[in-house]
Structure 1
Amino acid sequence: MRITYGPWGQTLAELTGAARAAEEAGAEVVWVPELHRSATVSAAAVAGTLTRAGVGTAVALAFTRSPLVTALEALDLDELTGGRLVLGLGTGTRRLNETWHNVPWDRPLTRLRETVEVIRAVVAGGPMTYEGECQRLHAPGFHRPHEPVRTRIPIYLAAVGPRLTRLAGRIGDGWLSHELCSPAYLRERVLPNLTAGLDGRDREELDVVVSACCSIDPDPATARRRAAGTLAFYAGVATYRDFFAFHDLAAEHAAAVTAFRAGERPDVPDRMIDPLVLAGTPDQVAERLAGYAGLADTVKLTPAVHGNPPEQVRRNQARIIELIGTL
């Protein structure tokens, strides 16, 4: 497995410093998210500090920019990274699209497939016209005068549900997991859908990337409690009902959704944390990480952030980067 990392920073300067430290420790790709920062701006900031590691977005929201803008930003980022960009795209949830960004959510599978098709056509320098069911582009006189570093930039798709996962297997260069993804869920739910989606493609053409929330501390109980905030953040989302039910956590998830809708922080028992987060001592986390061997091609480690003060996240991040170095 390749080991990659999603750095954290209170400032962009701290984010880029963590990215550089992860590269020096051996991380093969550095991934930046889109929630409290722009994925593409963060990727540009990180790109200027790295010399070997790839730079990935995990994930940039697929529908909140036009496909043309996403393609142009990808081309610029590929230039900044010297051809080391990985464009990770995700649909986000209905609520996030409609109420946060005021963009359509209808037919997300069709919209995502067409978004990818437009981006690839623009990156390849192809015709600047596209007429789909959800996406349209009509710019026949447009010509980008800058020579691209690559005319094919890898596009990875984030997916949880079965239909979107099959789509990732069919059209993606890679698949990105949710930040919570156990080896059992990967083996029994994800890989069969990815394989079904390949539709004649070789499995080696698809990079299967597990995103693993990580919390390391000399005291395992402290490590688990630090990870509770991330579980609370995701457990309050009703969309993930089937995911939690697979792990025999349906009742806990339902209680978390009820608490979230009441404006309260969900309670997170240890039985929710243990199967879904890499939490414990460095040796315990390394042992848990080995559980993905033979299933995932790549693991993306990220520090547990939600609900934790910056000084705790910094300590955890330093321990994760140290672990990458030992691996």
Structure 2
Amino acid sequence: MKLGLQLGYWGAQPPTGTAELVAAAEESGFDALFTAEAWGSDAFTPLAWWGRETERLRLGTSIVQMSGRTPTSIAMHALTLDHLSGGRFVLGMGVSGPQVVEGWYGAPFAKPLARTREVVDVVRQVLAREAPVTNDGPHYPLPYTGEGSVGLGKPLKPIVHPLRSDVPIWLGAEGPKNVAQTAEIADGWIPLFYSPSVAPMYAEWLDEGFARDGARRTREDFEIAATVHLEITDEPQRVMAGLKPSIALYMGGMGAKGQNFHKDVFTRMGYAELADRVQDLYLAGRKEEAVAAIPDELIDALHIVGDEAKVRDKVAEWEDAGVTTVLLSLTEADQVRRIADLLA
């Protein structure tokens, strides 16, 4: 199992000390560097900025929100970053959720699976550069001939010849149909909340996708990159307490009452009653109570926190559960080095 550094997305201000983190990851044998986006900082720019100082790390997005750009625009970013990095780019994408897609990007959220399939197909056409790019699908028609068209759209090939004709595409997916489609059409999967305890459930969905006609990958060459907070500490209770606000936000506040895909994940994990309670508290403005309701056992299932012996044992569990890369959210260069030494 490989180690990746997950820089995530920014809070109210740009993070500090990131250059030192990236340098430590490069020097310590980490495999990859990943960035994310929500509705603030974007994923591509920080990856290019900090990735320029690296020579070996794979550079990936986890995830780029598909509704924020057209498929050909996403492909242009991928083509450019793959050239600049010498063939080290990984394109991680996802559909996000209806509140973000419709409230931030002003685009319809309907048909997320069909939209994903079209985006992946268009991106692959651009990177293959075998013919002018066209798409007959209803979500991203190319050339566009719908309402407001002047009728002059022309199928085009990218001016720049891609460095690689088949840049790896990993998809963020949570529900059973989305995960199965990911196994069918993508090169890897980026689960948001993964736990070895629910790996058999996910394996069933993935196997459905691998079994479909035309599936790109098999379980043997498909990547699963799970984001996890890993911390070596003699004070696990303190660390776990600091991780609870994020879980409460996604479980209770990152979505509407009747449609929160993140909450659904926790329900499938066996925390339906807890998820309902946390959502009710969060949406009622009682955020501190929502955070307090998150049990230590859930944090322990989702993250790797403890002394060196426990960390080693839990990392082995995640590897046995099929994870090929753990994307670690770390804040100090010394943490990066210590973890690399421990797991070497």
User: Would you say same fold, with TM above 0.5?
Assistant: yes
CA RMSD in angstroms comes to 2.1
* Structure 2 gap ranges (5+): 144-152, 255-259
Q: Which moved more, 1:165-174 or 1:255-264?
A: 255-264
Cα deviation per residue 1:263-287 (whole Å; 9 max; x = unaligned)?
2322223233222222223432232
Amino acid at match of 2:29: G
CA contact (8 A) 2:3 2:328 kept: no
Are the counterparts in 2 of residues 129 and 140 from structure 1 also a CA contact under 8 Å? no
Deviations 1:229-250 (CA, angstroms, capped at 9, x unpaired): 2222222143234422343322
1:136 corresponds in structure 2 to 141
Is 2:3 the counterpart of 1:3?
yes
Structure 1 position 314 matched with structure 2 position 331: yes
Q: Which runs of 4+ in 1 moved over 6 A?
A: none
Q: For 1:209, what is the secondary structure of its paired residue?
A: strand
* TM-score, length of structure 2 as denominator length: 0.85
2:194 maps to 1:177: no
Aligned-pair CA distance for 1:117: 0.4
Q: Distance in 2 between matches of 1:221 and 1:320?
A: 21
Aligned counterpart in structure 2 of residue 301 of structure 1, from 324, 327, 343:
327
1:114 equivalent among 113, 118, 121: 118
- Distance in 2, matches of 1:195 and 1:93, equals 25
Matches within 5 A, 1:63-74: 63-74=67-78
Find the partner of 1:204 among 220, 237, 240: 220
* 3-state SS of paired residue (2:327): strand
Q: Work out which of the residue numbers 27, 45, 48 in structure 1 matches 2:30.
A: 27
Instruction: State the match for 1:61 in structure 2.
Output: 65
CA distance in 1, matches of 2:271, 2:90: 33
Q: Which moved more, 1:230-239 or 1:84-93?
A: 230-239
- Structure 2 residue 273 is the aligned partner of structure 1 residue 251: yes
2:175 corresponds in structure 1 to: 161
Shift of 1:162: 0.2
Residue correspondences, number:
315
Using the aligned pairs only, state the percent identity: 27
8 Å CA contact retained: 1:123, 1:151: yes
Which residue among 248, 252, 261 is the counterpart of 2:283? 261
Q: Extract unaligned runs of 5+ from structure 1.
A: 304-312
TM-score (norm 1): 0.89
Q: Which residue of 2 aligns with 1:217?
A: 233
The offset of 1:21, in angstroms, is 1.2
